[in-house]
Amino acid sequence: MPLVTVRNLHKAFGDHVVLTDVNLDVAEGSVTVLIGPSGSGKTTLLRCLNGLSHPQRGLVTIGDVTVDYSSHPNRRELAALRAQSGMVFQAHHLFPHRTALENLTEGPIHAQKEPVASARARGHALLEQVGLSDKADAYPSELSGGQQQRVGIARALALRPRLILFDEPTSALDPETVGDVLTVMRDLADQGWTMVVVTHEIRFAEQVADHVAFLDGGLIVEEGTPRQVLTEPCEVRTRQFLRRVLDPLSRVPDQGRP
């Protein structure tokens, strides 16, 4: 049985339909990469997995928690769903008034009621894991973009979630720090973490993903192994998208023009 199942997800902002009917399975211990054009609803889909976004319809199951969005889940049901995952944001959203270590221990101590000493010990170990053992007492504003994002990843790990959601974790970074963050993510994949990753890093998807889903027009247009979707895509839209991402200067001819 998959760890995550998404069924018939439908989300509109006003009369702007973003997800029409999305279905997705995520196997435990697998890395799923979501790709798709800007505005195709990747972020929205990810946020439906932890209740930050409230779709009008659809069923999301993670582990033994199921939320049926059509029945207006209350705050407690959404919190139970949210507790299943950790999230890494594009803009990291670290707490600016707390040190790196305090960012990591905030959830464990103040939500999960873990004893302070054990949370801090785990926090130090996690900072070491992401290569920042010397930055425990630094404030986010004192860290580089790549370091901030690695703290963001460690903060998600500190919650000991069933899976981790990544929303374009490297899109806001300087090119030379992207590699540090992707390396940490690849290590997590090797350790068996279940991950759902929205990214435009096609090379990362090829090397690390077990499953790739291409989202366009409110639907998952094509999904499968990285080889199926990225190397030998069946759909025209997938091919066009990949061409644009891999070679941004190549112009796809407009329809009706030679």
Ligand X SMILES: Nc1ncnc2c1ncn2[C@@H]1O[C@H](COP(=O)(O)OP(=O)(O)OP(=O)(O)O)[C@@H](O)[C@H]1O
Round to whole Å and give the CA distance between 37 and 200.
9
Q: Which stretch binds ligand X (CB under 6 A): 24-32, 38-46, 62-70, 203-211?
A: 38-46
Q: Is 39 in the site for ligand X (CB under 6 A)?
A: yes
Min dist. Cβ of residue 205 to ligand X (A): 14
- Beta-bridge partner residues of 165: 87, 196
Round to whole Å and give the CA distance between 70 and 195.
26
Q: Which stretch binds another protein (CB under 8 A): 18-26, 77-85, 123-131, 188-196?
A: 77-85
- Site map 44..83 versus ligand X, x via CB under 6 A: x---------------------------------------
Q: Is 116 in the site for another protein (CB under 8 A)?
A: no
Map residue 223 onto helix, strand or coil: strand
- Beta-bridge partner residues of 31: 195
Map residue 65 onto helix, strand or coil: strand
Strand order across the beta sheet in which 85-88 lies: 85-88, 163-167, 194-198, 31-35, 211-216, 219-224
Among 38, 141, 250, 255, which residue sits at the site for ligand X (rule: CB under 6 A)? Answer: 38
167-226: contacts with ligand X (CB under 6 A): none
127-166: contacts with another protein (CB under 8 A): 139-141, 155-156, 159
Among 86, 146, 226, 233, which residue sits at the site for another protein (rule: CB under 8 A)? Answer: 86
Among 62, 94, 184, 230, which residue sits at the site for another protein (rule: CB under 8 A)? Answer: 94
Phi-psi region of 183 (alpha: psi -120 to 50; beta: other; left: phi over 0): alpha
Among 18, 104, 178, 208, which residue sits at the site for ligand X (rule: CB under 6 A)? Answer: 18
Q: Is 149 in the site for ligand X (CB under 6 A)?
A: no
Chain residues binding another protein by CB under 8 A are: 50, 52, 79, 82-83, 85-87, 89, 91, 93-97, 106-107, 110-112, 139-141, 155-156, 159
Chain residues binding ligand X by CB under 6 A are: 13, 18, 36, 38-44
